[in-house]
Amino acid sequence: MAALNENAIRISVVLATRNRAAMIPEAVRSILQNDHPDFEVIVVDQSEDDEAEALLQPFLADPRLRYFRDSRRGRSAGQNAGFREARGSLVVMTDDDCTVPTDWLRQFEQAFASDARIGIAFGNVLPAPCDPAIGCIPSYIRRQPFLARHVRDKIQVEGIGACMAVRHSVWSSLGGFDEMLGAGSRFKAGEDGDLAMRALSAGTWIYETPAISVTHFGLRTWQQLPALMNSYWYGLGAMMIKPMKLGQWHAVLLLARLAAKWVMGRSTVGSSLGPKMHRLRKLRSFLRGFCAGAAVPVNQATGHYVAAVPARELELGGSRPLN
């Protein structure tokens, strides 16, 4: 094992979860076993019950772990809540159905240390073993590292939020994740790709590397797969209309190339969803998301979709610490 860096930066890990308590302990245990000398883990729980909190009780004595309840719903809202609580200059994310290796945080720190212009990094999301007769596990596997410096490079950047890190300063400058995108939101998916697109447009570099990885245990049965595809490509459609609504017409060619890649099944994530291409299903979902996004206003300053917030939701407020 490589020697630990005594000058290592502080890293915050944000883990947002909702109604999947059984998966939380292994994810948290694997993160806490990391060999990085200065990190914290922030669990943001949007669940409808207290099961996740109960299962995490054995870990709450560890001062590196902080647990919050969040009254809102949606992956992006949970991630933003975690970022607001984060004390680290680098914030790393994974999902509640993933485990990470002991050098995960150290590898992310090294990736960012290679160039100060890198604001976002993605690693591989490896599928755990599963029975192909039952279903598949969504994954993302890059064979060679790649550094994206311009918006036009987005065609080669497909990393996903299950193995993603962002400089806290970059998250802040971009106004965080768009809470209308992502699981549990109006547009169901696309929050990670949207942040990456906005970062590249702002001049921030993105680095993808197979040297960093997580293992994903999120099995989707073949019966569940159509709904998952609908969500993924609906969110992609909503994500890809935004640059046009922001007047970034130079991105039209890029968006057309991205759309063709995703819809025609040439994306890395798409190819992990079984041998069938499901082109028509993906195209229908993409177009539905594209049209739905066209009907929702976008804040020209932040690049976020604008939605009316119910008065009751404003009264409920955000996250509150439980330890």
What 3-state class would DSSP assign to 177?
coil
Give pLDDT, residue 318: 41
Give pLDDT, residue 180: 97
Written as one letter, the residue type at 162 is A
CA separation for the pair 114, 122 (Å, rounded): 14
Give pLDDT, residue 248: 82
Which position has the token pair 């594209």? Answer: 290
Give pLDDT, residue 117: 97
Which position has the token pair 């719903």? Answer: 73
Instruction: Tell me the residue ranges of DSSP E strands in the chain.
Output: 11-17, 39-45, 65-70, 90-93, 98-99, 118-127, 135-136, 146-148, 164-167, 205-216, 220-221, 319-321
Rg (CA), the chain: 19
Q: Residues 38, 232: contact at Cβ < 8 Å?
A: no
CA separation for the pair 263, 146 (Å, rounded): 23
Give pLDDT, residue 122: 98
Give pLDDT, residue 314: 32
Give pLDDT, residue 315: 36
Low-confidence ranges of the chain (pLDDT < 50): 1-5, 309-323
Domains and CATH numbers, the chain: 11-321 (3.90.550.10)
Give pLDDT, residue 201: 92
Give pLDDT, residue 266: 64
Give pLDDT, residue 230: 94
At 151-178, the pLDDT tens digits run: 889 888 999 999 999 999 999 999 999 9
Question: Dihedral sign, CA of 93, 36, 12, 51?
Answer: positive
Give pLDDT, residue 274: 75
Question: Dihedral sign, CA of 62, 65, 69, 74?
Answer: negative
CA separation for the pair 254, 151 (Å, rounded): 8
